[in-house]
Amino acid sequence: MALPAFSVKPYDYNSLWQVPMDRALSAWNVTPTPVWITKSSSAKSIIVAQQYPGKTWFGLYTPHGSKPDRYFDIKLNSLEISKATTNFDKFVQYNLVHELGHALSLIDNPVTSQVSIMKYGVDFNLYYVPQQYDINDVNNYYN
């Protein structure tokens, strides 16, 4: 995304999904960054949670268009995410916080010894909100 403030089209799922998905947006919005994610029916960016048979990823971020009119879709793979045996809601939240990190220009698996929501294999039981490293990364990018 070109901007840290953007809207996504409203989504409507059962509370098992809706609640942790909304928490993921809030988790970014409360960070001390310029991030402000809202829902708007006119938004071009979408977040979808559904089954993607044969796909092993948990979440997928795909940008469209070019700056400054870039938008995205984020897919959450309910088949794979539902395999989480503990803390399902935290796992949903973790995955959406991570994918929204991509929408905020963060890259996968940053080289750092610090905890990051963008690192592969991060323990979602403990880390499901943006970490200090991620907050600094966003501020470095947008400030």
Q: What is the number of other CB atoms lying within 10 angstroms of the CB of residue 118?
A: 21
Q: Which pair of tokens denotes residue 115?
A: 């905890």
25/103 with CB nearer Zn ion: 103
Number of chain positions touching Zn ion (CB under 5 A): 1
15/106 with CB nearer Zn ion: 106
Q: What is the DSSP letter of 107?
A: P
State the minimum distance, in angstroms, from the CB of residue 19 to Zn ion: 22
Q: List the one residue from 3, 108, 126, 141 that touches Zn ion (CB under 5 A).
A: 108
State the minimum distance, in angstroms, from the CB of residue 124 to Zn ion: 13
108/123 with CB nearer Zn ion: 108
Give alpha helix (H) positions in 1-131.
15-29, 78-81, 88-103
| Omega cis (within 30) before 53 | no
Q: Which residue is nearest to Zn ion (CB)?
A: 108
Is 123 a binding residue for Zn ion by CB under 5 A? The answer is no
State the minimum distance, in angstroms, from the CB of residue 15 to Zn ion: 26
Select from 132, 131, 74, 78 the least CA-distant residue to 103. Answer: 74
Give the x/- contact pattern for Zn ion in 33-72, rule: CB under 5 A: ----------------------------------------
Give alpha helix (H) positions in the chain.
15-29, 78-81, 88-103, 132-142
The residue ranges that bind Zn ion (CB under 5 A) are: 108
